[in-house]
């Protein structure tokens, strides 16, 4: 019978073969430090109208409530940094939404990795997560040794930056665990704080989600407050400002995922093109894109807000 360390090595090798950039493994346990932070974040109303963030408080902190007798949390990262960017003079979309919806693409790869693990270890009970359940993915990525959380709250990796998705496999199988990433390499840099036009990044390494451009353009279903007028810097879906200015992202390299290659129109359309977009064109361009979350009406709302 192979030892736990050998299992971990083979799982990481298979994750790399499937296209994941990084893979780390942590012991499934209660996130004691995160409990205090999450409670305060919610009390301060930093989740805005994202009421779902108030749900499943205990499950967010303890993976054993998501998977019976969970013993391991496998954290993975998947690069989405694009080779080509949108035109300079246009309304902008966050880079993660350029191509097809990442949920489906990564979930399929997690399914393959799960199949590999079952063949390797035997029958296991587990679940796969891709930003769609109450899992504190950045905390688990840190515990799995993938990187550290920057002042913009995103996970950073020294040689890769932050333009990657995070995903998790939670299993009832014991594995060899990685050392947590405990060194913060942001130092005295405040580029992300200084660049955020809505001051959503607070000095104490906290994000006021209710002020984030991504929140306004995706999560908020009501009208965007007039107090935000002129502060979006032409972002119509999501925002990459805090990532674009981060010095660590000079190490970002283009992804090799064909399904993340954007529709030609995404890169070529100018402001006038976007302002005149029809629902038919919207459905064509974003047929399989995460942009569909905001729906045509939501994108039009955002464009009207930017135009006025």
Span 48-78, pLDDT tens digits: 999 999 999 999 999 999 999 999 999 999 9
CA distance 300 to 215: 16
Q: What six digits make up the tokens of 21?
A: 């950039």
Average pLDDT over residues 22-40: 97
Beta bridge pairs of residue 74 = 25, 169
Task: Check residue 194 and give its pLDDT.
Answer: 98
Whether the predicted pLDDT of 308 surpasses 90? no
Query: DSSP letter string over 158-196?
Result: TTTBS-EEEEEEEESS--PPPPP------TT--HHHHH-
Residues in the chain: 308
Identify whether the C-beta of residue 2 lies closer than 8 Å to the C-beta of residue 93: no
- Average pLDDT rounded to a whole number, residues 140-157: 98
CA distance 63 to 71: 9
Across-strand partners of 129?
A: 168
CA 166 → CA 1, 31, 102, 157, distances in Å? 31, 18, 10, 12
pTM: 0.96
CA nearest 89: which of 275, 256, 259? 275
End-to-end alpha carbon distance in the chain:
67
pLDDT value, residue 79: 98
Q: Where are the alpha helices (DSSP H) in the chain?
A: 4-17, 32-43, 57-61, 102-121, 137-143, 191-195, 213-214, 241-244, 264-268, 271-275, 279-285, 295-307
> Could you tell me if residue 177 is left (phi over 0), alpha (psi between -120 and 50 degrees) or otherwise beta?
beta
pLDDT band at residue 132 using 50, 70 and 90 as cut-offs: confident
Q: Is 244 a catalytic residue?
A: no
Q: What is the pLDDT of residues 238-265, one digit of tens each?
A: 999 999 999 999 999 999 999 999 999 9
Of 29, 131, 172, 273, which is the active-site residue?
Answer: 131
Which strand (E) or helix (H) includes residue 27?
A: strand 22-27
Bridge partners, 165 (sequence order): 78
Residue 2 pLDDT > 80: no
Q: How confident is the model at residue 18 (pLDDT cuts 50, 70, 90)?
A: very high
* pLDDT value for 204: 84
Token reading at 141: 């990525």
Q: What is the mean pLDDT of residues 162-186?
A: 97
- How many whole angstroms separate alpha carbon 201 and alpha carbon 239? 13
What pairs with residue 77 in β-bridges? 22, 166
- The DSSP-derived string for 143-157 is HTTS-EE-TTS-EEB
Q: What is the pLDDT of residue 133?
A: 86
Take residue 135 and report the two structure tokens written for it: 């899992």
Res. 221 pLDDT band, cuts 50 70 90: very high
Instruction: Report the pLDDT averaged over residues 94-104.
Output: 96
> What is the DSSP code (8-state) at residue 130?
S
Mean pLDDT, the chain, whole residue set = 96
What is the structure's pLDDT at 205? 82
For residue 225, name the pLDDT band (cuts at 50, 70, 90).
very high
Distance CA(6)–CA(73), nearest Å, equals 17
Task: Work out the percent of the chain whose per-residue pLDDT is above 70.
Answer: 99
Asked if pLDDT for residue 1 goes beyond 60, the answer is no
């Amino acid at each position: 019978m192979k030892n736990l360390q050998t299992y971990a090595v083979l799982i990481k090798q298979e994750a790399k073969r499937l296209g994941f950039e990084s893979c780390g493994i942590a012991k499934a346990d209660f996130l004691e430090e995160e409990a205090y932070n999450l409670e305060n974040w919610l009390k301060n109303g930093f989740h805005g109208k994202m009421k779902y963030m108030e749900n499943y408080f205990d499950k967010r902190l303890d993976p054993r409530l998501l998977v019976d007798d969970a013993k391991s949390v496998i954290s993975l990262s998947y690069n989405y940094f694009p080779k080509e960017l949108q035109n300079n003079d246009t309304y902008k979309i966050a880079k993660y939404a350029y191509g097809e919806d990442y949920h489906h693409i990564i979930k399929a790869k997690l399914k393959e990795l799960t199949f590999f693990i079952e063949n390797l270890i035997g029958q296991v009970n587990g679940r796969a997560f891709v930003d769609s359940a109450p899992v504190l993915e950045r905390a688990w990525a840190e515990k799995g040794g993938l990187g550290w959380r920057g002042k913009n709250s995103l996970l950073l990796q020294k040689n890769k930056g932050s333009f990657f998705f995070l995903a998790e496999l939670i299993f009832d199988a014991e594995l060899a665990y990685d050392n947590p990433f405990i060194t913060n390499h942001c130092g005295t840099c405040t580029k992300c704080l200084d660049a955020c036009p809505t001051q959503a990044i607070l000095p104490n390494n906290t994000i006021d989600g209710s002020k984030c451009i991504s929140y306004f353009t995706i999560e908020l279903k009501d009208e965007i407050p007039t107090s935000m007028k002129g502060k979006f810097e032409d972002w119509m879906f999501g925002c990459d400002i805090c990532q674009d200015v981060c010095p660590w992202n000079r190490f970002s390299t283009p992804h090799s995922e064909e399904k993340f290659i954007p529709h030609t129109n995404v890169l070529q359309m100018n402001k006038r093109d976007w302002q005149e977009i029809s629902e038919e064109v919207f459905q064509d361009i974003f047929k399989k894109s995460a942009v569909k979350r905001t729906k045509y009406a939501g994108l039009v709302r955002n464009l009207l807000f930017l135009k006025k």
